[in-house]
Copies of this chain bind each other. A is one copy, B any other.
Amino acid sequence: MNIGQAAEQAGLPPKTIRYYEDIGLVKPGRDTNGYRAFGDKDIHKLTFLAHARALGFSIEDCRDLLALWEDTQRASADVRRIAQEHLQRIEDKIADLQNMRDTLTTLVRDCAGDDRPDCPILNSLGDPRPA
């Protein structure tokens, strides 16, 4: 299978797949004309990568998860640990963003948003001890 079809199957842009080969996540063969030749296992890996990345796993997490996937003897606990650590990072990030949202919501609510120059948003951002 050429890179175009592989991209379609996996739901990734061809450029991204070349990049994944570059950094050693997949190792497709080559046809005599130099085109990459993707087998079923490559497609599976790319699909795996597309899903894991969509869930926000880092490339290095993906590398670890793929290695565990290829190791039929691995303990599911190893996978679970990576997923749980990632879950914690996501929870933290959500909490951060919710704090930002709350602060911004207050600022936007207090801003008249009209033609007058007075603006609580700018005032607060410039204050050494802001809202």
Can you identify 29 A-B contacts, CB atoms within 8 angstroms? A48-B122, A51-B125, A51-B126, A51-B127, A51-B130, A52-B125, A55-B100, A69-B126, A75-B116, A76-B114, A76-B115, A76-B116, A77-B113, A79-B119, A80-B108, A80-B111, A80-B119, A83-B108, A83-B111, A83-B121, A84-B108, A87-B101, A87-B104, A87-B105, A90-B97, A90-B101, A90-B104, A91-B101, A94-B97
- Write out the residue numbers on chain B whose beta carbons fall within 8 Å of the beta carbon of A56: 97, 100
Q: Provide the main secondary structure of the chain A interface.
A: helix
A contact residues vs B (CB 8 Å cutoff): 9, 44, 47-48, 51-52, 54-56, 65, 68-69, 72-77, 79-81, 83-84, 86-87, 90-91, 93-94, 97-98, 100-101, 103-105, 107-108, 111-119, 121-122, 124-128, 130
CA distance A100 to B101 in the complex (A): 19
Give every chain B residue within 8 A of A9 (Cβ-Cβ): 128
